[in-house]
Chains A and B, each alone.
Chain A
Amino acid sequence: SQTIHQWPATLVQPVGSPLSLECTVEGTSNPNLYWYRQAAGRGLQLLFYSVGIGQISSEVPQNLSASRPQDRQFILSSKKLLLSDSGFYLCAWSAPDWSTDTQYFGPGTRLTVL
């Protein structure tokens, strides 16, 4: 069966510091991968999605970037964090052929920028 991991689970970082959040998927090949952010009182906002290694689509212009160095690894980064980057970050995967369009979510990372 497929599993999705995210780490760290929680993170407290000062403004201006760098960020690296990691997501890995097991039990599937060539998944579509996604990064979402959930801000307090809001729904989930899609940040990035990837259909393959090195292929990243950005949905919202922002202070963040994403990379996919390996088939089942998706990384969310920032060079300098802003206060507004605080939130709950979720990684998700879906089948590569878009046949179901169902996305499966990881446990999330709660980021607090002070």
Chain B
Amino acid sequence: AQSVSQHNHHVILSEAASLELGCNYSYGGTVNLFWYVQYPGQHLQLLLKYFSGDPLVKGIKGFEAEFIKSKFSFNLRKPSVQWSDTAEYFCAVNGWRALTFGSGTRLQVQP
């Protein structure tokens, strides 16, 4: 069975600080990897995804993630966070027809 681990449950940063959220997955086959974000009071929405090709993928709002196959990791990064990035972030892996989500990381950006 596949699983996803997000190591940071709650992160507090000041504006302009750099962000890296960890995500590790466990799955024996080919995976598709996702980061979803849930802003306060809004739908869960796709931030970025990796299916194949360049392991460094860029998403919306300046976010990027790097797939490192040897480490089973798909960490999310942003060089300079803004107050509007305050949200909950979920890493997910799709092995067969369904997404397995991590427990989420709540990011709080202080102005």
Task: Give A residues with C-beta under 8 Å from B.
Answer: 32, 34, 36, 41-46, 49, 51, 59, 90, 98, 100-108
Contact = CB atoms under 8 A, between A and B. Distances in A.
Contacts of A44: 44, 90, 92, 99, 101
Given A43-B90, A46-B98, A49-B98, 20 more contacts: A32-B97, A42-B104, A43-B101, A43-B103, A43-B104, A44-B44, A44-B92, A44-B99, A46-B99, A46-B100, A49-B97, A51-B97, A90-B44, A100-B51, A101-B32, A104-B46, A105-B43, A105-B45, A108-B43, A108-B44
A42 to B, nearest CB: 6
Interface in B59-83: none
Q: What is the interface of chain B mostly: helix, strand, loop, or mixed? A: strand
Interface residues of B, number: 22
14 contacts: A32-B97, A36-B101, A43-B6, A43-B101, A43-B103, A44-B101, A46-B100, A49-B97, A49-B98, A98-B97, A101-B32, A104-B46, A105-B44, A108-B44
Nearest to A48: B98
Nearest to B90: A43
B106 to A, nearest CB: 10
Contacts of A41: 103
Given A101-B32, A105-B43, A105-B44, A34 B103 contact: no
A90 to B, nearest CB: 6
